[in-house]
Amino acid sequence: MGNAATRKQSWQDGTWESADGLTLHYRDYAGKENRPPILCIPGLTRNARDFEPVADAFAGEWRVIVAELRGRGESDYSKNPETYKPATYVEDIAGLLEHLGLEKVVALGTSLGGIVSMLMAFQHPGLFAGVVLNDIGPDVDEAGLDRIRDYVGHGGSYPTWMHAARALQETSDDIYPDYEMSDWLRLAKRMMVVGNSGRISFDYDMKIAEPFLQPPPAPVDMWPLFGALAGRPVLALRGELSDILSPETLAKMKSEMPEMEAVTVPGVGHVPTLEEPSAQAAIARLLGKIA
């Protein structure tokens, strides 16, 4: 890929308190006040740095707020791993919106963040002015879940950024087959952090894996949650090589919600990084329906 956006946006760091007393972190990029802010919710193991491409593309014109879920980035780790689940994340994000006094936002949810977005739309019908689902839908492919179970919570650390980037390349080359080493380095610096020991490791609490690895008590039908998105602009992005969101599920989503735009991002798997030109163009089209 090679050429990423070079325009870097500045932000303010903020915190809010969860109902169970954790201090949670968010980034706040300034934008026009006459538009609903873009609320970015990261995927399972990701953090606020994951949405730097979105901020670089849209902040200034749009206020961009990036939440860090509990146990990720600069947010507190929970002493109770059982709180690492979507229902708790919904409560936490609702607390952030209350803290900021926001009654209307545009949701941009990557993977797990998209599930949280659908849950919030179901519980808070008037909250979203528009929604972007990044490589997630009401049906999740087991092949992708098995792949995630194989790596989440396993930890590991690296002496240099080049070691970290090469390790990512070894495990994720099929997700980003066109990446050059500069791309792997950029991705490593979004996903990992230098610890107190000076070594580089993934920037999340390894205990987030515990509830994820437990079998659900019963299958959850997420189609009613997806249906709650109707009545506003909706964009569904799918990585062409995704093992989480199948072409069949994306087609069914489009059938259930014909007004939704469905875009396949070429040459990437789970998940698109949102620096891809086709992803940014699609997000811009959705925002154009809201502005």
pLDDT band at 154 (very low <50, low <70, confident <90, very high): confident
pLDDT the model gives residue 7? 66
Site of tokens 């006094």: 101
Alpha-carbon gap, residue 208 to 46, rounded angstroms: 11
pLDDT higher at 76 or 153: 76
Alpha-carbon gap, residue 35 to 32, rounded angstroms: 6
Q: What is the pLDDT of residues 167-200, one digit of tens each?
A: 999 999 999 999 999 999 999 999 999 998 999 9
pLDDT the model gives residue 220? 85
List residues bridging with 24 in a β-sheet: 16
Mean pLDDT of 240-267: 98
The pLDDT of residue 14 is above 60: yes
pLDDT higher at 7 or 1: 7
- Domains of the chain with CATH codes: 12-155+206-288 (3.40.50.1820)
Site of tokens 């925002």: 287
Closest CA to 251 of 241, 262, 259: 262
Alpha-carbon gap, residue 274 to 54, rounded angstroms: 7
Kindly report the number of other CB atoms within 10 A of residue 152's CB atom: 17
Alpha-carbon gap, residue 127 to 268, rounded angstroms: 31
Mean pLDDT of 42-47: 97
Q: What is the mean pLDDT of the chain?
A: 94
Q: Could you write out the three-class secondary structure of 168-224?
A: HHHHHCCCCCCCCHHHHHHHHHHHEEECCCCCEEECECHHHHHHHHCCCCCCCCCHH
Closest CA to 24 of 115, 108, 91, 114: 91
pLDDT the model gives residue 1? 45
pLDDT band at 213 (very low <50, low <70, confident <90, very high): confident
Residue 111 is given by DSSP the state T
As given in the structure block, the two tokens for residue 147 are 């792949």
Closest CA to 44 of 287, 270, 291: 270
The pLDDT of residue 217 is above 90: no
C-beta separation of 28 from 196 below 8 A:
no
Of 2-16, 43-57, 94-108, 222-236, least confident by mean pLDDT is: 2-16
The pLDDT of residue 219 is above 90: no
Secondary-structure percent of the chain, ordered helix, strand, coil, rounded to 5: 35, 20, 45
List residues bridging with 40 in a β-sheet: 66, 108
State the number of CA atoms in the 13 A half-sphere of 188 facing the CB: 25
Q: What is the pLDDT of residues 231-246, one digit of tens each?
A: 999 999 999 999 999 9
pLDDT the model gives residue 8? 80
Q: What is the pLDDT of residues 62-118, one digit of tens each?
A: 999 999 999 999 999 999 999 999 999 999 999 999 999 999 999 999 999 999 999
pLDDT band at 152 (very low <50, low <70, confident <90, very high): confident
List residues bridging with 12 in a β-sheet: 28
The pLDDT of residue 156 is above 90: no
Q: What is the pLDDT of residues 122-147, one digit of tens each?
A: 999 999 999 999 999 999 998 998 89
C-beta separation of 105 from 39 below 8 A:
yes
The pLDDT of residue 230 is above 90: yes
Number of H helices, E strands in the chain: 10, 11
Closest CA to 70 of 49, 97, 41: 41
pLDDT the model gives residue 2? 39
Amino acid of residue 129 = A
